[in-house]
Amino acid sequence: MLLLSGGDNFTGRDDREWKRQSDFLFELMGTIGWDLSAVQSTDLLQGLDVFKAKAAKQSIPLACANIADAEGNPVFDPGRIFHFGNKRLGVLSVVDPEHQNARTRIPDEIIFTDTKEAIEKGVAELKKRTDAIVLLFGGRRESALRHCDDIAGIDLILFGMASSSQRVPAETTMGTPIYTAANRGKDFGEITMTFHDDGSVKCSPFTVYELDKEIKEDPAILAIYDKYKAAEALRKSRSREIRLAVKDLSEEEVRHSYMGVEACTSCHQDAVDSFYRTAHATSFDTLVDELQENNPECVACHVTGWMVPGGFGQASSGRRSLEQVQCEACHGYGTAHSRSGNLVDFARANCVTCHSSEKPIDCGGADEKFDYEDSWKKIAH
Ligand code: HEC
Ligand code: HEC
Ligand code: HEC
Ligand code: HEC
């Protein structure tokens, strides 16, 4: 038996939620023992290297015949050949660029080559080396039909994005059966392919199995799901903690607010340019990479204005605009701007609130002895 699927089926609101879901889904697929995963548009949002590394870690083969890098070289294997006794089954995969629910955020490093050409070429190659061919089409049925209707040699087409009315079996004009696979994890489909002595291949009708209460949960899979749910619940409660965290400040301090780095650009372009070259400018991204962006124990030193009114996480400020250790994390409230030397004095004394050997948490950067002069040179502006 072969387990084939389209890529991760994300339901998250944004890239960060996708990223967390994809970690979870990869673990699931790895544990189940997936035979091949067709690449889908949402898979690409996390960046090619990250996506490939996750699949490799779980030993999940990826395939897509029509994704290339900026130089036009294929990024994935077009498909894969599976052996059953003396018979060989070729599985080819394409993604439909016309159906990109996240089209605009696909990384620039990726190019979609012509879908139909990729199918024709892939089928021609596989025909020489296999006894039957399955096409995984990452798109809608109409589009799959439009691209494959006149291509001979495909024995079965499985398409990805289906409305419920499309879950009835159909055929191309060449007589190739075309089905859709599972529906958001609520069921899965099974097809048996029989190789006949005369070289022909026959597909059984598509059987759908509802994954309802009748089907017992697998403890190993359930454990992974529980772990994910617990992590999400913790993330949610922590995000609330972050919003509530404010320390007592004087009335004078409360009058002021953070403006964000963009507000400094018009007058301090040079400082802004050099700021973006330092690790402070990506300090929050570091936490996102570690899946710790909602951990109050971490954000404290990786954002601007932790624990103070108008700072990171406070309702009155757009939260995202105060991610990273920005200008005001060192210089203080932008609205308190003066030319008296105060902002500079404040910044000099401020480093050690985050850089000190008594960090409550050992987060990789040792910082055993923080030396102001030395450190300033590395971020001077
Ligand atoms: C609000 C907390 C905070 C303050 C204040 C702060 N830093 Fe940092 N600093 C960080 C974090 C977090 C990182 C690590 C960022 C990462 O790697 O993602 C960092 C990294 C650095 C680095 C490594 C930079 C690089 O580009 O490799 C230097 C040097 C540094 N800080 C110097 C300073 C100096 C000097 C001050 C005071 C003028 C200061 N920092 C103030 C949080 C802070
Ligand atoms: C008290 C302040 C503080 C807290 C709390 C904190 N960090 Fe950091 N973090 C820093 C500073 C400062 C640096 C840069 C240290 C350096 O360059 O020596 C840093 C650097 C890092 C780095 C980059 C390490 C490297 O060398 O590439 C990572 C990753 C990191 N922090 C993750 C975390 C995580 C995860 C947490 C929560 C568990 C956390 N931090 C909590 C201050 C803090
Ligand atoms: C990591 C902390 C930190 C960050 C982030 C930071 N600064 Fe500074 N900045 C300092 C310190 C410390 C000094 C004084 C350095 C010294 O002379 O010892 C300074 C100096 C300055 C000065 C005075 C320079 C001069 O000597 O005339 C300006 C202007 C300034 N910063 C603007 C900015 C702007 C704008 C940003 C954001 C784009 C920014 N800073 C980000 C710490 C920081
Ligand atoms: C409308 C122009 C303007 C904007 C916007 C602006 N500044 Fe300034 N800033 C100045 C001028 C002018 C000085 C004095 C420069 C000098 O003396 O060389 C100054 C000085 C500073 C100094 C040194 C002050 C001191 O204590 O002596 C810092 C630090 C600074 N600005 C940070 C910021 C930050 C951070 C922002 C964004 C939140 C910002 N500035 C936005 C015009 C501006």
Paired tokens of 148:
């494959």
Cα dihedral value 356, 362, 364, 365, nearest 10: 0
Tell me, in angstroms, the distance from the centre of ligand 1 to residue 379's CA: 8
Rg, Å, the chain Cα set: 27
pLDDT at 366: 47
Task: Please count the residues of the chain.
Answer: 381
Nearest residue by C-alpha to atom 1 in ligand 4: 267
Tell me, in angstroms, the distance from the centre of ligand 1 to residue 330's CA: 10
- Asked if 166 and 206 count as a contact pair (C-beta separation under 8 A), the reply is no
Ligand 4 cavity residues, CB under 6 Å: 259, 263-264, 266-268, 327-328, 331, 334, 337, 339-344
pLDDT tens-place string over residues 59-68: 999 999 999 9
pLDDT at 195: 92
pLDDT at 74: 94
Mean pLDDT for the stretch of residues 313-337: 82
- Asked if 290 and 239 count as a contact pair (C-beta separation under 8 A), the reply is no
> What is the spatial distance between Cα 148 and Cα 123, in angstroms, rounded to a whole number?
11
- Asked if 164 and 172 count as a contact pair (C-beta separation under 8 A), the reply is no
pLDDT at 1: 66
pLDDT at 119: 97
pLDDT at 282 over 70: yes
Paired tokens of 101:
């629910």
Mean pLDDT for the stretch of residues 132-141: 91
∠ CA 240-241-244 to the nearest 5 degrees? 90
Burial class (CB within 10 angstroms; exposed 0-12, middle 13-18, buried 19+) of 73? exposed
Sign of the alpha-carbon dihedral angle for 272, 275, 277, 279: negative
Tell me, in angstroms, the distance from the centre of ligand 3 to residue 269's CA: 12
Q: Of 128, 125, 133, whose CA–CA distance to 156 is shortest?
A: 133
Nearest residue by C-alpha to atom 9 in ligand 1: 280
Q: Of 215, 322, 212, 197, whose CA–CA distance to 259 is shortest?
A: 322
Sign of the alpha-carbon dihedral angle for 288, 292, 294, 298: negative
Range with the lowest mean pLDDT among 87-96, 134-143, 181-190, 364-373? 364-373
Tell me, in angstroms, the distance from the centre of ligand 2 to residue 320's CA: 19
Tell me, in angstroms, the distance from the centre of ligand 2 to residue 365's CA: 6
Ligand 2 cavity residues, CB under 6 Å: 286-287, 290, 292, 295, 297-298, 300-302, 354-355, 359-361, 363-367
Ligand 1 atom closest to residue 330's alpha carbon, by position in its atom list: 5
Q: Of 33, 146, 124, 45, whose CA–CA distance to 78 is shortest?
A: 124
pLDDT tens-place string over residues 194-206: 999 888 899 998 8
Mean pLDDT for the stretch of residues 206-233: 89
* Residue 268 amino acid letter: H
Q: Of 127, 146, 52, 140, whose CA–CA distance to 95 is shortest?
A: 140
